[in-house]
Chain A
Amino acid sequence: MNFLPVLYHIARADFLERVRRPSFFIVLIISLYGGYFFAPSADAGYVTVAIGNYRGIYNSAWIGAVFSLMCSTFLSLIGFYLVKNSIARDRETNVALLLASTRLTGFQYLLGKTFSNFAVLSAIVGALLVTAVVTQLIRAEDTSIDLWQIASPSLIMALPMLLVISTIAVFFEITPLLRGALGNVAYFFLWNAILIISLVPTEGRGKLVTGLNDLPGITRLFESMAKELEPTMGVLSENVSLGIQIITDGATNATYVWSGMDWHPSLILERLVWIALALGIVSLATLVFRRSESLSISPPKAKGTEPPASEVVVVEPLNTHARLTRLDVTPKMSFLPLLRTEIWLATRGLNRWWYFGMAALILVTLVTPLTVARQYILPLAWIWPIAIWSAMGTREPKHRVEQIIFSAPHSLRYQLPAMWGTGIIIAAIAGAGMGARFLLAGEMNSLFAWSVGILFIPTFALAAGVWTGRALLFEAVYVALWYIGPMNQVPFIDFMGATPEVTPAITLSFAIATAALAVLAVAGRRRQMMT
């Protein structure tokens, strides 16, 4: 088979299939919306990209840089979760089985998937660039449009980053351990690490290493922005900020004119290194793929306790002698038996180490100092069962038992609450140690936050699960929320009592969110049940 045409066809088919999905439009709309806010108007009260007290006036150069920064920071996070499902889909629909029987090589297949991932992300970048032009005109600080100035930072800085992200998504998808919830959590930290590493100043080191830590292109853009400012205003190049900065009362943000990047050939060369890295990741993925291929494309089998190969499975014929008697009781719906079986379902697939880790976390919350327990251990205990929560509402479609489950009577009144209850019980057990600590320490505000957290997390998971049918949305959003709030000690987003400063008002807002999510979950389930 010809290498390129085959590649093209895989990528194209995949791309078209994916841009037709609602999730693409949701991310697209969020991005466009975000794009608008990423270049706030002068009186918006906040800035996103600033050098010390300065921001560039909204000319094409500055707007182009801001949009590129947005792509390589924000889009590289949600974009990953958006594209990380192309192989999973093949696996579900057994296309993988078909592919395995053709002469398509693993490398071709994975490269095709990478390009399709990249095409999806590039499509969003393309739409953002159009928004960039519109934004510049709306802000009207400088109305002369220079298309190259607007597009070049995204093309040269953001796209290589997104290409690498596309390959990482492929790599995660074919690696058994990184395929599920663990991978979704891990990516968040990887993403975080990429951004942090890129901000390490490289000035003064050897020329060779300069920029090789800067996959997102953040530092390169900032260096250029600061350099232009330095001779006139003397602002330090370290004093840069990215992300929403509220302008405090009185302080005004000065503007200056930045004339854009000087695309030096060495810089272009530097970006090519990332493209090479992307190819390297695909090659590495191919090696992993070959090894896991035989596992992943065979029909789904139970992990762990498969019968040993030596055990011959004897299939007895249907019994011709057995007779089915009439059922002598009238079925009567009851909550507890269902709850019991739902707990089985939620916990059966987990391995020993999971239980061990969970038990350890609960114990550690009891014995560590309160500040450590609340700040580090509680968040960990409430991320540990993430796969159990994200399975809620998605388990039936995943295992294709919807038709059987949803045709059972009163499942909205019994099975749904039993599943929900299971999630709540898991949250309560995981957080039990912390609850006791809060109670003993008399930290009522935290205890309140903690108890709402027990309800909030599973309810959020359920609502996301029944509406999307997939674990991904909850996993991605929850990890982000968890990281920004409890982990970083931001009381505002503390839904578990991890910060001492959490107030009943904050908790109340999470309680209201929980109630809204609950309504959403029931409505979503109703819709999911009868299509």
Chain B
Amino acid sequence: MQLSIGTLSKQYRGGVWGLRDFSIDLKPGILGLLGPNGAGKSTLMRILATVTKPTAGEVRWNGIDTTKEPNALREVLGYLPQDFGVYPHLTAQEFLEYLAAAKGLHGPAAKKRIEELLLLVNLMDARQRQVGGFSGGMRQRVGIAAALLNDPKLLIVDEPTAGLDPEERVRFRNLLSDLSGERIVILSTHIVSDVESIATGIALINRGKLLMHAPPEDLLTKAEGKVWEMTIAAEQLSTLRQQYLVTAVVRRADGMRVRIVSETSPGSSALPATPSLEDIYLWYVAYDRERAAA
């Protein structure tokens, strides 16, 4: 099972580049796709889900070009778009039956699968209600169930936790890590904690470009010795921000406790801290932004 993405680019009408020379090779596991707003995460995912045509480059699923022969991939694809609607007049059960039929699942097998999924996303009680009346979070779950209908080999979920409350987010994370195994899961987010604990690989993306792709452990070791913590007076914060990348600020009784990412020690009172994925993410994005400005 392999997904190869080669120098993929997408230019939208009006000239905006959504994605630029993006290359990555994926094997089974969970890829956390991290990037700020407008980075190109959804663009990449829509191309992978075969609903958007790339301007250049190619995507190969087990060697088959997905632009030319999308059905080979679609048969094993589960896709939860970032922004999607529902057919308001169908009940949750009917909506899933419709999508199951569209994916080639029908009859008793579909019934059984849908029941299992409704249990999983806990919509069993609401299954006879029209989805038009569902809350945002409930719709999101219908979407999650829909993406899992065909037991996909490639599962693409675009900001799946948007609209879920914090507790739900944790549960969803667990669900995903249970699911992994013999499949490729790609999850996009700009919330680092969503992927921190479950991803087997992290890809950072900004301005349509892949900044780096590595297992989370490697990233953490790379940042060893570059994260600092110090306590400063409140007035000093803005000057510090101009000089260094401040990744967290906590107000304390004795002043501001700040976290800084820097190659060198930002001051005599600074103590080395254990790096987190969030520090690294902010660091890369800030670095890329500087490079863009230069």
Residues in chain A within 8 A of chain B (CB atoms) = 300-303, 305-307, 313-320, 322-329, 331-334, 337-338, 340-342, 344-345, 348-349, 395, 399-411, 414-415, 529-531
Instruction: Report whether A300 and B88 are in contact in the complex, using a CB–CB cutoff of 8 Å.
Output: yes
Max chain A Cβ within 10 angstroms of own Cβ: one of B85, B88, B102, B129: B102
Residues from chain A with a CB closer than 8 A to the CB of B122 are: 316-319, 322
Contact with A along B91-128 (1 / 0, CB 8 A): 00010011101111111011001001101111101100
Within the assembled complex, what's the spacing in Å between the Cα atoms of A403 and B71? 14
Which residues of chain A are within 8 angstroms of B52 by Cβ–Cβ distance? 530-531
Q: Which residues of A contact B121 (CB under 8 A)?
A: 318-319
Number of A-B contacts (CB under 8 A): 168
Question: Could you say which residues of chain B place their CB within 8 Å of the CB of A329?
Answer: 105, 109
CB-based contact B103/A324 at 8 Å: no
Residue of A nearest to B175 (CB): A318
Given A529-B51, A531-B52, 20 other A-B residues pairs in contact with their CB atoms under 8 A: A307-B133, A317-B171, A319-B120, A322-B120, A324-B151, A333-B104, A341-B102, A345-B90, A345-B98, A349-B88, A400-B83, A400-B85, A401-B87, A403-B46, A403-B49, A404-B143, A407-B74, A408-B99, A410-B71, A530-B52
Write out the residue numbers on chain A whose beta carbons fall within 8 Å of the beta carbon of B77. Answer: 407, 409
- B94 with A344: CB separation less than 8 A: yes
- Is the pair A302, B99 in contact by a Cβ cutoff of 8 Å? no
Interface membership of B89, Cβ < 8 A: yes
Select one of A323, A404, A529 contacting B79, CB under 8 A. Answer: A404
Residue B260 lies at the interface, judged by CB distance under 8 Å to chain A: no
Q: Output the nearest chain B residue to A325 by Cβ-Cβ distance.
A: B116
Q: A400 contacts which of B84, B141, B179 (Cβ < 8 Å)?
A: B84
Q: Least Cβ distance of A396 to chain B in Å?
A: 9
* 8 interchain pairs, CB-CB under 8 A: A302-B89, A303-B132, A306-B130, A334-B101, A405-B102, A406-B50, A409-B103, A409-B104
Chain A residues in 8 Å Cβ range of B172: 318
Q: Are A349 and B146 in touch, CB under 8 angstroms?
A: no
* Inter-chain contact A315/B135, CB cutoff 8 Å: yes
A338 to B101, Cβ gap below 8 A?
A: yes
Q: Is the Cβ of A530 less than 8 Å from the Cβ of B51? A: yes
Can you name the residue of chain A whose Cβ is closest to the Cβ of B52?
A: A531
The yes or no answer to B86 lying at the interface (CB within 8 A) is yes
Residues on B facing A (Cβ under 8 Å): 46, 49-53, 67, 70-71, 74-75, 77, 79, 81, 83-90, 94, 97-99, 101-107, 109-110, 113, 116-117, 119-123, 125-126, 129-133, 135, 137-138, 141, 143, 146, 148, 150-151, 167-168, 171-172, 174-175, 178-179
**A302 CB contacts on chain B under 8 angstroms:** 88-89, 130-133
A344 CA to B130 CA, complexed, in Å? 13
Q: Which of A314, A319, A331, A403 contacts B51 (CB 8 A)?
A: A403
Quote the shortest CB–CB distance from B288 to chain A (angstroms): 28
Residues on A with C-beta less than 8 A from B109 are 327-329
Which residue from chain B places its CB closest to the CB of A413 in the assembled complex?
A: B71
Contact between A531 and B116 (Cβ–Cβ < 8 Å)?
A: no
A348, B97: Cα distance in complex, Å? 14
Does A530 contact B50, Cβ atoms closer than 8 Å?
yes
- A344 near B138 with CB under 8 A, answer no
A409 to B168, CA, bound (A): 30
Q: A306 is contacted by which of B50, B101, B133, B175 (Cβ under 8 Å)? A: B133
Are A301's CB and B148's CB within 8 A? no
Across the interface, which residues of B come within 8 angstroms of A399, CB to CB?
85-88
Interface pair A345/B87, CB less than 8 Å apart: yes
Q: Would you call A404 and B146 a contact (CB within 8 A)?
A: yes
A409 and B84: CB pair below 8 A?
Answer: no
Q: With A318-B172, A322-B119 in contact, is A531–B51 under 8 Å at CB?
A: yes
Contact A324 B179 (CB under 8 A): yes
Give Cα A407 to B155, complex, Å.
12
Query: Would A530 and B150 count as touching, CB distance under 8 A?
Result: no
CB distance from A29 to the nearest CB of B (A): 21
Residues of B within 8 A of A341 (CB): 94, 97-98, 101-102
Among residues of B, the one whose C-beta sits closest to the C-beta of A402 is B51
Q: Which of B71, B113, B133, B138 contacts A327 (CB 8 A)?
A: B113
Q: Which 7 residue pairs of A and B lie closest in terms of their CB atoms, listed nearest first?
A: A302-B132, A400-B85, A331-B104, A337-B106, A327-B151, A409-B74, A348-B89
Which residue of A is nearest B145, CB measured? A324
In the complex the two chains form, what is the Cα distance from A319 to B168 in whole Å?
Answer: 10
Output the least CB separation between A427 and chain B (Å). Answer: 21
Contact B101 A404 (CB under 8 A): no
Report the bound CA distance from A379 to B273 in whole Å: 79
Chain B nearest CB, measured from A266 CB (Å): 52
Q: Which residues of B contact A301 (CB under 8 A)?
A: 88, 132-133
Are A406 and B174 also in contact (CB < 8 A) when A324-B148, A328-B109, A337-B107 are?
no
Known A-B contacts A305-B130, A409-B74; A401 and B104 likewise in contact (beta carbons under 8 Å) = no
Contacts of A349 in B (CB 8 A): 88-89
Which residues of chain A are within 8 angstroms of B175 by Cβ–Cβ distance?
318
Residues of B with C-beta under 8 A to A320: 171, 174
B181 CB to closest chain A CB (Å) equals 10
* A-chain residues with CB within 8 Å of residue B81 when the two chains form the complex: 403-404
| Given contact pairs A300-B132, A408-B74, A318 touches B120 in the complex (Cβ within 8 A) | yes
Complex CA distance for A472 and B141, rounded to whole angstroms: 33
- Smallest CB separation, A77 vs chain B (Å): 31
Residue in A300, A328, A404, A414 whose CB lies within 8 Å of B99: A404
CB distance from B189 to the nearest CB of A (A): 17
Contact A315–B88 (Cβ < 8 Å): no
Distance of A337 Cα from B117 Cα, bound (Å): 20
Chain B CB within 10 Å, residue with most, of A307, A315, A410, A411: A315
The complex places the Cα of A316 from the Cα of B168 at a distance, in Å, of 10
Q: Of A324, A332, A345, which is within 8 A of B120 by CB?
A: A324
Question: Does the CB pair A318–B168 fall under 8 Å?
Answer: yes
A469 to B263, CA, bound (A): 54
Q: Give CA–CA (A332, B107) in the complex, Å.
A: 11
In the bound assembly, the distance between CA atoms of A271 and B110 in angstroms comes to 65
Residues of B close to A405: CB separation below 8 A: 99, 102
What residues of chain A lie closer than 8 Å to B132, measured between beta carbons?
300-303, 306
